[in-house]
Structure 1
């Protein structure tokens, strides 16, 4: 097998099958959706209240309607979320296939989607050809996610600003009045009082360590 250059993107068989299996799985779930939903109601048994004569108390047997209804709603929503996730993976797979030539596209569908036998060397060659399209697809999806996140954040900040204006307040910087400080390998924002407390704690530990090792007097700062 021809080895790709070091800068070439890498992809493994599991990654490809994760996306290639999505179309068939999504189709199966969509086909069985109504049957699955109907089956959820088959296990419902009405709650029966009766008197326990030995203990002299009221007891309930069976599932309460409210809890069963909530469970069914949760199961339905989870099922539909699963379908949407598979449809997203299907779109990703189809976008990868669109970047291949006809021959490589046909072989990729056979090898990874239909699971028709190919030799190890043929699989490796297909993975090499899929690497760049997969890398491109993942980058585009990541950009879409960042864009959606930024849009949500902007919307939230706008709503927050409107609320603060309505309340007669102003939007403030959470780091206002703080100083950047290098702490435990990263920069953080602390108030002067927080910095002083932290430095005093470090000095105290240094003094205790010096005393424990037989030092005389407080440890000297740098």
Structure 2
């Protein structure tokens, strides 16, 4: 028997994006119930054209409350970050522009945001200080009556605790992946760390050579009780 919350029914969503201006983003879907790939769909939004999109900022989608989200750069400037939202049931597509929530993030003291799902199942943006040992988490707050539908608010600041004496001002961490409150990062010397986002404690991991976020895919394994 499967554990609670698991199902044999599933749907696969794949987004294709190109660096070329004349190539739009394309959505591919595979449904378990139909047993086949559906006809590819060119992404279209009521207000924004998707033909100015650039490469995805992370290869795997962030799934929150039945919707898949991808962070993507938008033409003409990569600083114009957007979130592509795809409803897993209806495949309805929308585009959300990210407005930086705090002045220090605007000043360039933090890396580009990363999408995560917080412990309370809320879509959030995670910012890593550069250099330094601080993480900021901003959550999406729905605003009734607002034209944008909501805003990003800084909900928590986490001071990271390195496993050994390291000068924070010299440590430059890079985001690799996140899953269920555990953050995987690397420093400028290619050392890997697992960070507990509740406590800020950093745990050293085995050296795996040159690793980038395109090579890391976080996932869960269910180990049945013997």
If the length of structure 1 is used for normalisation, what is the TM-score?
0.19
Structure with larger RCO (C-alpha < 8 A, sep 6+): 1
Larger Rg: 1
Which protein has the bigger helix share?
1
If the length of structure 2 is used for normalisation, what is the TM-score?
0.19
